[in-house]
Amino acid sequence: MKFDAVFRSRRSNVMATRGMVATSQPLAAQAGLEILKAGGNAADAAVATAAMLNVVEPISTGIGGDCFALFWDARTKQVTALNGSGRAPAAASIEALRSLGYTKMPTFTGHAVSVPGTVAGWSDLLERHGTMSLADVLQPAIWTAEHGYPVSEIIATGWRSQVPKLLRSPDWESGDLDNGPEQPSGHELLIDGRAPRPGEIMRIPTLAETLRGIAAEGKDYIYRGEFAHKLSAHVQKYGGWITSEDMAAHESTWDEPIHADYRGVTLYECPPNGQGLAAIIAANLAAGFDLAAMEEVDRLHILIECMRLGFADAQRWVCDPRVVPIPLEELVSPAYAERRRQEIDLRRAAQHVPYGDPLAGSDTVYLSVVDGEGNACSFINSLYMGTGTGLVVPGTGVSLQNRAALFQLDPEHPNALAPHKRPYQTIIPALTTRGGELHACLGVMGGFMQPQGHLQMLVNLVDLGMWPQRALDVPRWQLAGPSGGLGAQESGGLVAMEEGWSFATLAELARRGHRLVPVDGFGRTGFGGGQIILRDPETGVLIGGSDPRKDGCAVGW
């Protein structure tokens, strides 16, 4: 598979007035559009799209994962934040893991599975903001899982990388102890033990049955019935702690979003335990520079340094604030940004970036929906590292996430593993307003790329005046590191540069001390998959773009 050298998609912006859906797979985008045409609103279409993505991109998202959403209510002019992430089980224990020899959280065992929050999130979003039933919006996904669909190109390529994990192959180097059964159930997401090829019809009948159960019984089907017992038993076979009682205790929460004011535009993010805090801090820092007037290399240097500071703070402070209080109001304040901004050297890359003291003075799917009334839903759903743990609940077609792998085993760290606690979450939706009206519904999925993508899209849209498709097409940069996990963005780390930047720009960044790593080919999908829908408040015209690094599209009505 060969990609355009600089991701110039030559794709026009999609325009419509009665509704629009943008996401990483065309069949999923169309499922959401069908719901809009049937009279549903942005919340209804978002859940339909998310459910369809579970079917057509099951290596990234699904029932066994978590979700977050930002919803713009066109009537009240308010943004609400849904936290659909799960918690560690009651028996979770740092001491137990250390006794097994672990010095950091395991990644692919049952210990890495926190209670999946997706289905409760779907249900609760509809209950508060939707107009249709969960049963209604799940119908496109149910039909597609049963009858099949041709697998799209980039998803098929990613699917191949998940086969050893799903099959627990003997030559699979997980780095974890693996005490599960000899015949894992990952074959439910494969064809004769292999990944489906591009264009090959894929059916997932067990997932169709699970979705039917949810349609018939609602979220209780997942959290209080036979499924909860099956999930718990499977996780425990692989060393984990989840019980049916943990499943029954799960609930979503509604939070006050955090925000940054950026040149007349307000950027909204979900608060911790999500890493949207990193984007807010970076945007507050960037607001103090005239980026539009700068040369490209100066602008890039400043943004990279702002992001380093944002991540340094996020990796110190992001945790479950209902368990460990954090100084959130101070962290997102312009006054704190002003102090931290003084640490940026305009000519040299920082080699050491400690987190600040505010009290001192792997794969994911993202979707954007805006309906004809101007309501918007920025929605993200994920299993984390591809298929998560790769553990598939037998007979259900449901992969289980590995979000608990983001906990720390240092009991003094705010994000330390503890019972009933939510871990640091990488998945974050974004939404912007201007003058009290919806401006954009946007997101850039992809692990630790997400706040970096949000910052780059904000600058592209606001400072550089780009329309959505162009904002998504241009090359990106990403703070990265050899581990690829939490801490990959630590101070003085590597900066991955997507092919397409000029040699002169790269040379000058290197001269300033940035440790650059060029990335081309399929590796460029690691720069995230973004979706953007802008809305003109005067005419109601919707302008949408979809990332060429993914298989998807924006579709309008």
Active site residues: 364
Nearest to 112 by CA among 175, 55, 158, 50: 175
User: Which H or E run includes 454?
Assistant: helix 449-458
Provide the residue type at 282 as one letter: A
Distance CA 408, CA 94 (A): 9
How buried is 171 (Cβ within 10 angstroms: 0-12 exposed, 13-18 middle, 19+ buried)? exposed
**Which residue(s) pair with 192 in the sheet?**
none
Task: Return the half-sphere exposure (C-beta side, CA atoms, 13 A cut-off) of residue 512.
Answer: 23
Residue 132 token pair: 């249709």
Say what angle helices 449-458 and 296-317 make with each other, to 10 degrees. Answer: 140
Q: Which residue has the tokens 């425990």?
A: 236
Q: Which of 418, 419, 441, 432 is nearest to 366 (CA)?
A: 441
What are the tokens at 256? 């006050």
- Yes or no: say if 480 and 493 are a contact pair by the CB < 8 Å rule: yes
DSSP line for 393-415: ETTTTEE---GGGGSBS-TTSTT
The Cα 273–Cα 115 span in angstroms is 15
For residues 523 and 497, give the distance between their C-alpha atoms in angstroms, rounded to a whole number.
11
Q: Is the dihedral of CA 309, 315, 321, 325 positive or negative?
A: negative
Helices 42-56 & 118-129, crossing angle to 10 degrees?
Answer: 160
Query: Contact, 136 vs 218, CB < 8 A?
Result: no
The Cα–Cα gap between 179 and 227 comes to 22
Phi, psi torsion values for 490, nearest 5 degrees = -65, 160
Tokens of 449: 């790329």
**Angle CA 522–524–526, to nearest 5:** 105
Give Cα separations from 519 to 158, 267, 480 (angstroms): 17, 29, 12
CA dist., res. 184 & res. 169, Å (int): 10
Asked whether the beta carbons of 431 and 454 are under 8 A apart, the reply is: no
